[in-house]
Amino acid sequence: MITVHHLENSRSQRVLWLLEELGLPYEVRRYERNKATMLAPPELRAVHPLGKSPVIVDDEDGVSRTVAETGAIIEYLVDKAGKALRPAGDVEKALRYRYFMHYAEGSLMPPLLIKLVLGRVPLFGRSAQKRIQPMIDVHLDFVESELASRPWFAGETFSAADVMMSFPLEAARGRAGLDRSRPATIEWLAKIHARPAYQAALARGGPYSYA
């Protein structure tokens, strides 16, 4: 059985969604953020030394595997399910899939996190936020151009790359200027939110501010 150590309003919502898409059985162990700091509780360090979420523990055939980092977890689960939701037989789609699997956390998420942190710094933070927004806009324009040319990130069909891209774009809509001026991206968000597996993951994971 797969156990998802799920932190509220975090990247781990993607893991629940992917498990629903893949039809793999799992259970959820839910953690709440510290109301003052918004950090993960110390109990998560008992699962993984960094005390971060998501983390999964997969107990199968007497072997227990702990897997951390969203991208690594998604790749692990896709492999476990027989490489479902991964393009096959088309080099260009496979390259796009790989690119967006890494782009989500490697390039898109860092400026969003910087803006979030700066927003919590009085006076100077608000001024500095204005400098980071143009960097975010470059990414949002790039994403819009990609989704304007095809319905999903890897190609014509939904893939795990779309799962990976969901959290940064949901966060951008909530706090970094993503709105209807980028209609292809907003349409993509509406499509993923309407998926039955996405809705099932919300029901399993509890309140999620970005849906």
Two domains, one topology: 2-85+197-205 and 91-195: no
| Domain edges within the chain | 2-85+197-205, 91-195
Tens of pLDDT, residues 73-107: 999 999 999 988 999 889 999 999 999 999 999 99
Rounded mean pLDDT of the chain? 93
The SS3 assignment for 2 reads strand
Predicted pLDDT of residue 207: 87
201 band by pLDDT with thresholds 50, 70 and 90: very high
In CATH terms, 91-195 corresponds, of 3.30.750.80, 1.20.1050.10, 3.40.190.10, 1.20.1510.10, to: 1.20.1050.10
Rg, the chain, Cα only: 17
Model confidence at 34: pLDDT above 90: no
Predicted pLDDT of residue 97: 98
H-state helical runs in the chain: 12-22, 70-80, 91-103, 109-118, 124-149, 160-175, 183-194, 196-205
| Distances, alpha carbon 70 to alpha carbons 4, 90, 92, in Å | 11, 25, 24
Model confidence at 144: pLDDT above 80: yes
Mean pLDDT of 108-122: 85
Mean pLDDT of 145-168: 98
Phi-psi region for residue 38, left (φ > 0), alpha (ψ -120 to 50) or beta? left
Under CATH, what is the fold of the domain 2-85+197-205? Answer: Glutaredoxin (3.40.30)
Angle (CA) 54 46 12, round 5°: 10
Model confidence at 116: pLDDT above 80: yes
